[in-house]
Structure 1
Amino acid sequence: MYNVLIADDHAFIRSGIASLIEKQPQFKVVDQTSNGTDTYLRVEQGDIDILIMDLSMPPGESGLITTQRIHHKFPKVKIIILSMHEEQEYINNAMHNGALSYIFKSSPDSELLNALKHVVLNQSYVDSNIILTKSDINEINSAAGIDDNLKGFNDLSKREQEVLPFVALGYSNKEIAAKLYISTKTVEAHKAHIVQKLGLHSHADLVRYAIHHHLIDI
């Protein structure tokens, strides 16, 4: 039995996915989340084998970044992206960041079921409507390229990476502390380290940085 976590900001979509998966004998939906931060924290608790996740769950951390962080820290968790984004840039970035499968929300249920069958065998699977060129495959498999622009972000600690989106979105120290179960003084320290490490000088600079590097969904 494979434990599945569903992450999407729309409850009715989560419900529909859960209903489909629960009909499959090998899979069990054990939890649902609605944003990137909660998704990471839930995976961190353990017992998740497969994550089915949307890329856009505003307001909050970009699903591309959540994918990267989860794959880096929990490589055994198999990530299936189920997204409305059909642009090649999103597909290549998601697969490069660690997703094993990429499915369009506009596709029939059979595509998601095919993805599940492949990922349990540790095989990648992309929607039948996706055509990956040699250039796309090289970009996905590249050790650099996509990551180069995120070097500063990748140099942040795990907690600093979690704090950054909330700061950029204008959450107060108290709100961030409550969401991440840390003290407000710890939040202040993380904010200072983030600005210092990224070489930024103001909150406006941080917002521009987060938007430019697709770190947040607004």
Structure 2
Amino acid sequence: MIRIMLVDDHVVVRTGLRLLLEGQANLEVVGDAADGDEAIRLAQQLKPDVVLMDLSMPHGKDGLTATAELKKLLPDTCVLILTMHDDDEYLFRSIHAGASGYVLKSAPHEELLTAIESVAQGNAYLYPTATKRLMNEYMERLKNGGDGSDSYETLSEREREILSWIAKGYSNKDIAENLIISVKTVETHKAHLMEKLGLRTRPDLVKYAVKKGLLNFDG
């Protein structure tokens, strides 16, 4: 029996998931929460095998922060992200936060059930189109001479600092305010980062930072 906890700010979503999952002989929903703070408190009491975690919750901690904290408190509990965001940046940040899988809310019920069983067995699960896209990107990088990993040493200390801030989701304006520099200076450093690393978009920078272990969710 796989013990599951649901985390989503929409009551209708939690109710629908409960009905679906409790109709399976090997699944048991042991609790549900409406935000990240409640999820952390409840998970410590219930110690579920799998937590189905939404990402966007307007009140309390968001799904990424809650996932990172849950994995520190309950390393044996698997977190499966269930979200509407078909986005590489969210995907990579979820994996870095400690999630074992990532499934879209638009996925067929069968895919969600497969994902739950997969992560409960200690495996990772990504929805099929994400896996294909990541593999295509990886092959493209190899074709173009690698992923820029050897270029990290060429970055200045300030460029590395700004790369870390970008990867954590901060806007150029936020970075400028935190580092007490101008937005234009941040944009210039960002342009240099992309040129040195051979990257083209902000999500590319996030993926690179994840690979380099530059993200953390402390605090």
TM tier relative to shorter chain: 0.5 to 0.7
For 1:93 and 1:120, the matched residues in 2 are separated by 21
Which of the residues 126, 134, 137 maps onto 1:132?
A: 134
Where does the alignment leave 5 or more consecutive residues of structure 1 unmatched? 157-218
Return the offset for 1:46: 3.4
1:100 aligned residue: 100
- Output aligned runs, 1:1-218, within 5 Å: 1-130=1-130, 131-133=133-135, 134=138, 142=211, 144-147=213-216, 150=217, 154=218, 156=219
For 2:69 and 2:212, the matched residues in 1 are separated by 16
Return the offset for 1:35: 0.3
Over the residues paired in the alignment, what is the CA RMSD in angstroms?
2.1
Q: Is the 8 A contact 1:4 1:29 kept in 2?
A: yes
Q: Percent identity?
A: 31
List structure 1 segments (4+ residues) > 6 angstroms apart after TM superposition. none
Per-residue CA distance 1:151-196 (angstroms, 9 max, x = gap): xxx2x4xxxxxxxxxxxxxxxxxxxxxxxxxxxxxxxxxxxxxxxx
What one-letter code is carried by the residue in structure 2 that aligns with 1:32? D
Per-residue CA distance 1:11-44 (angstroms, 9 max, x = gap): 1111111111111111100111100000000011
What one-letter code is carried by the residue in structure 2 that aligns with 1:91? L
1:101 to 1:28, Cα distance in 2 relative to 1, 3 A: same
1:40 to 1:94, Cα distance in 2 relative to 1, 3 A: same
Per the alignment, in what secondary structure is the counterpart of residue 132 of structure 1? Answer: helix
For 1:83 and 1:42, the matched residues in 2 are separated by 20
Per-residue CA distance 1:124-144 (angstroms, 9 max, x = gap): 0111221324468x7597462
Per the alignment, in what secondary structure is the counterpart of residue 42 of structure 2? Answer: helix
Return the offset for 1:2: 1.7
1:65 to 1:40, Cα distance in 2 relative to 1, 3 A: same
Q: Is the 8 A contact 2:47 2:74 kept in 1?
A: no
Where does the alignment leave 5 or more consecutive residues of structure 2 unmatched? 139-146, 148-203
Q: Is the 8 A contact 1:37 1:60 kept in 2?
A: yes
Q: Which has the higher contact order (CA 8 A, sep 6+)?
A: 1
For 1:18 and 1:139, the matched residues in 2 are separated by 37
Q: Is the 8 A contact 2:51 2:79 kept in 1?
A: yes
Equivalent pairs counted in the alignment come to 150
TM-score, with normalisation over the residues of structure 1?
Answer: 0.63
For 1:32 and 1:139, the matched residues in 2 are separated by 34
1:23 to 1:139, Cα distance in 2 relative to 1, 3 A: farther
